Amino acid sequence: MSSIALERYRRNYLNISYTARSWLLTTDHKRIAILYMISVTLFFVLGGIAAMMFRLELLTPETNLVRPETYNKLFTIHGIIMVWFFLIPSIPSILGNFLIPLMIGARDLAFPRLNLASWYIFMLGGLFTFIAVITGGVDTGWTFYTPYSSIYSNSAVVAAIVGVFVTGFSSIFTGLNFIITIHKKRAPGMTWSRLPLFVWAHYATSLILVLATPVLAITLGLIALERVFGIGIFDPTRGGDPVLFEHLFWFYSHPAVYIMILPGMGVVTEIISTFSRRRIFGYTFVAAASLAIAVIGFLVWGHHMFVAGESAYAGAVFSGLSFLVAIPSAVKVFNWTATMYKGDISFDTPMLYALGFIWLFTIGGLTGLFVASLAIDVHVHDTYFVVAHFHYIMVGSAVMAYLGGIHYWWPKISGRMYPEGWGKTAALLIFMGFNLTFFPQFILGYLGMPRRYATYPPEFQVLNVMSTAGASILAAGYILPLLYLLWSLVNGPLASDNPWKASGLEWQTSSPPPPENFGKIPQVTFEAYTFPVEQN
């Protein structure tokens, strides 16, 4: 018993100092991860409120809650915040930041000060976006398509663009930091083939962050220049081509989906291995699949533009390339399944999230094949079918993985256990609420309901009511973890160093870890996912 009492006073990264200064000027990757966690959660709440408002509007076919212009601003701000201020930073900047140095046996990232700067840049970008919201909002959709965004829209486009532009640099610096860290800061014996697959996934993600983000930044920058100075690169009245904007935008924004999903896959891989108590099946293939997804993800952007005026030849090329992404994605799903086969499976909360992830990712991925087919896409383009498809990937899969990861590493992050019963309840609520929200949207889209309208024909009402009802359940499911995780900070039982008997290096240091992560840099002598793990 006395050891547990001692535990409480053990020096760790949280209790080393309590001043605001020690948080705001920290270069400790773990504390920066917490800063990100707080700010990203706030953005998630904002984006969620916007979603809830337009879902309520969609209860009825007519507009009776908000005006159509307001509706446009709501879905735009929902998109901008959820994409750039929640999904992109969520897993990499929180879990990746916290865990990569712990997993590879390092004391910190390669550039700790740059890491802190990334957070400040992120917040600055958030500030601009917030300014855009309070100075009238933006109504272009998160895609900022020209010429509407550059010539016609009267809303705060420039402020929103500056927000996204600035945040982009935060992404680039984070990606750069991870790449160099993974190359240069691994502990002795931590070879590439011993890296946890979470780290591999983040390596692949970082490549995308570094190589795609600048393209978005300058492309959106060009819209701002057009609005401010009249420098019209995409202006069709001058012979410019708005489709070129779409090319450049999707060169970033398609790989951006893999920025959201790859880290999620990394999280799920860790969870499945731990709760099946087996080495991950086909380690090499899962690692290679991460890189393959990152690279192939750059070759498919034109499938967003089948009906936008790109040439039929380009459409065929992009359609064909898009199917290739299915291969490494399927490799991952099969390997997770094979890992569980004959495994000693336990259904703790993180595992529920991981299983939910596989389910939703499979639906999202398979419907991705529909929309990647030229002919079917002509029918479902810009309908709720597409909305449902990408929410299965970006919300269903990515958020499930994020929450699964938060629960799985919560003992390490906070030093406390969350209440298991509540955890399972929330996981089930989220899974059910999610499917009820978005499955009807597949049907709506297939029946022809276009996205981004505040009104719809009355025959679509039943499915829309189902969707809104699902969104309420989903909201409840998201609020629950927020409450009980905060509660557990004070009231949760103290966590042991390795409550899941997991195999990674991060579990070999104390919970929560000391500021320098490891008393002595570990010498790695074992392969990743070696079970059973001896308790020490």
Chain residues binding another protein by CB under 8 A are 27, 107-108, 110-112, 114, 172, 175-177, 179-180, 183-184, 207, 210-215, 217-219, 222, 225, 229-233, 237-241, 243-244, 247-248, 251, 298-299, 301-302, 310-314, 317-318, 514-516, 519-521
C-beta closer to another protein: residue 214 or 282: 214
- Please report how close the Cβ of residue 166 comes to another protein at its closest, in angstroms: 14
Rounded Cα–Cα distance for residues 242 and 251 (Å): 14
Distances 446 to 61, 362, 367, 515, 527 between C-alpha atoms, Å: 18, 19, 12, 53, 48
Cα–Cα distance between 146 and 426 in angstroms, integer? 41
Residue pair 326/369 in contact (Cβ under 8 Å)? The answer is yes
The string of DSSP codes covering 427-483 is HHHHHHHHHHHHHHHHHHHHHTPBSS-S---GGGHHHHHHHHHHHHHHHHHHHHHHH
Least distance from C-beta 519 to another protein, angstroms? 4
| Beta-bridge partners for 494 | 416
Given a contact cutoff of 8 angstroms between Cβ atoms, the answer to whether 300 and 318 are in contact is yes
Name the residue nearer to another protein (CB basis): 172 or 406: 172
Q: How far is the CB of 299 from another protein (least distance, A)?
A: 7
Rounded Cα–Cα distance for residues 230 and 159 (Å): 17
Place of tokens 């459409």: 315
Q: Rank residues 188 and 493 by Cβ distance to another protein and give the closer one.
A: 188
Structure tokens at 200: 């591999």
Minimum CB–partner distance for residue 298 and another protein (Å): 6
| CB-nearer residue toward another protein: 170 or 441 | 170
Alpha-carbon distance 193 to 178, whole Å?
A: 17
| Nearest residue (CB) to another protein, 238 versus 342 | 238
Closer by beta carbon to another protein, 248 or else 351: 248
Amino acid symbol at 69: E
d(CA 332, CA 348) in angstroms, rounded, equals 22
Give the nearest distance from C-beta 406 to another protein in angstroms: 26
CB atoms within 10 A of CB 119: 23
